Amino acid sequence: MTAAVAQSAGDFLVDVAERIGTGCTPESVRSVLLRACGGRLDTRTPGGRRSSGITVSGMPFEASVTGGRGRSARLLRYITETTTWEPEFAVRLEAYLAAIAELVFRLPDGNDEVIGLLHSFVTTVYPDPAAIEAGRRPAMWLGIVHHPAEPDRLAGLKVYCSPAARADAVEAVSRRWSGFEGLCPIPVNDDLFRNAGLAIEVDACAHLTYKLYVRARFRDVAVPMKLVRYFGDSAWETLSEFTRCGVDAAHLHDFSYFVCCTRHGDEDPSYTVSLATRRSDDINTLVRELAVRHHGGTRAIDAMDHAARACGATWRCSALALGFSPEHGIDKLNVYGTPTWEIPR
């Protein structure tokens, strides 16, 4: 049944791509997904645990749309994870490295050098597979981007790892790649925030982007204030935009926050503040208001909803993110969501 879900997810992506005008061939979209996820989308491991941390359900698949400054982008984006049904970390790691190698060659400028860099990144974060305790499932996610300029190929590949796998993970990658150095302004062992993810993204021209993700440890009244303290205008403008779109300022802390700290090449860092949901949260009204303001309408998010229903699934918004630049203010809105299929027991 999980193989059938993967096939349905391919149908979902093809439909979304058509609705938002990506122009990608259905064959390329489906084949990339099946290679990236290993041909299956398992919600649970054989032992009954969540198979992946990508979604609250354990489904190793989440799609997103993006845009800003009054327009939605014709980009098809999603995250998945391969071989999640395997209990052994070493087996999953081997499959992850193999998937990276194959997907890099789908990039227009992908080559052995890019593969070597991404493999080095993964093995720097996970230097000793045997040291990963049984039952732990550190992130080995793959971010996929399709773009109209590359209808038959990949336009971007993002490789994610978990900094929790080793105590000095951030320091280790910073020593190897200066793009990670000083990327996050939060001090070590902050009581409200923790490092939650590391990633390197490669675009169609093999240019690199370095990313470090931090998340609030819990929902606390002090979190919004500390976001502003650490991330300045990016956080202030994002939180202000939430209130302009109907969120009660006194309840801004009643959400789960992530921040993506990003450096393109050797540029200065930028920060994207994300609001993630629990099962009980409903942010659909907020998302639609933000889409009207920053995408110029709800076409892109409606595309995910309609595509899910067309393939027998329901779609739920799982997170949103706002990006800020000094030149344009809030200039990016990402909306994330997951289609869910009823799987017979």
**3-state DSSP assignment of residue 71:** strand
Three-point CA angle 7, 75, 292, nearest 5°: 110
Q: How far apart are CA 198 and CA 205, in angstroms?
A: 21
The model's pLDDT over 47-58, given as tens digits with 9 standing for 90+, comes to: 889 999 999 999
* This prediction's pTM: 0.96
> What is the model's pLDDT at position 151?
95
> What is the model's pLDDT at position 279?
84
Q: What average pLDDT does range 137-144 have in this prediction?
A: 97
Q: How far apart are CA 148 and CA 314, in angstroms?
A: 27
- Give the residue from 111, 81, 115 showing the smallest Cα distance to 96: 81
Q: What average pLDDT does range 211-221 have in this prediction?
A: 98
Please list, in sequence order, all residues whose beta carbon lies within 8 angstroms of the beta carbon of residue 300, skipping any fewer than 6 positions away.
Answer: 20, 65, 66, 67, 72, 73, 291, 335
Q: Taking the CB of residue 163, how many other CB atoms lie within 10 A of it?
A: 23
Q: How far apart are CA 14 and CA 308, in angstroms?
A: 11
Please list, in sequence order, all residues whose beta carbon lies within 8 angstroms of the beta carbon of residue 147, skipping any fewer than 6 positions away.
Answer: 22, 24, 74, 75, 76, 155, 156, 204
Q: How far apart are CA 62 and CA 73, in angstroms?
A: 17
- Please provide the average confidence, as pLDDT, over all residues in the chain: 96
Q: Is the pLDDT assigned to residue 188 strictly greater than 90?
A: no
Alpha helices in the chain (DSSP H): 2-20, 26-37, 89-104, 112-125, 169-176, 223-244, 284-294, 299-310
260 bridge partner residues? 213, 272
Q: How far apart are CA 207 and CA 38, in angstroms?
A: 26
> What is the model's pLDDT at position 343?
59
Would the CA dihedral through 231, 233, 237, 239 be positive or negative?
positive
Q: How far apart are CA 19 and CA 197, in angstroms?
A: 31
Q: Is the pLDDT assigned to residue 33 strictly greater than 80?
A: yes
**Single-letter amino acid code for the residue at 279:** R
The answer to whether 244 and 230 have CB atoms below 8 angstroms apart is no
The model's pLDDT over 289-343, given as tens digits with 9 standing for 90+, comes to: 999 999 999 999 999 999 999 999 999 999 999 999 999 999 999 999 999 987 5
> What is the model's pLDDT at position 147?
97
Q: Is the pLDDT assigned to residue 345 strictly greater than 50?
A: no
Q: Helix 169-176 to helix 112-125 angle, to the nearest 10 degrees?
A: 150
132-136, 214-218, 335-339: least confident range: 132-136
Q: Is the pLDDT assigned to residue 344 strictly greater than 90?
A: no
Q: How far apart are CA 168 and CA 173, in angstroms?
A: 9
> What is the model's pLDDT at position 293?
98
The model's pLDDT over 71-96, given as tens digits with 9 standing for 90+, comes to: 999 999 999 999 999 999 999 999 99
Q: How far apart are CA 28 and CA 38, in angstroms?
A: 15
* Residue 133 in tokens: 């305790």
Q: What average pLDDT does range 111-116 have in this prediction?
A: 98
What does DSSP assign to residue 312?
A: T
- Give the residue from 34, 214, 210 showing the smallest Cα distance to 118: 210
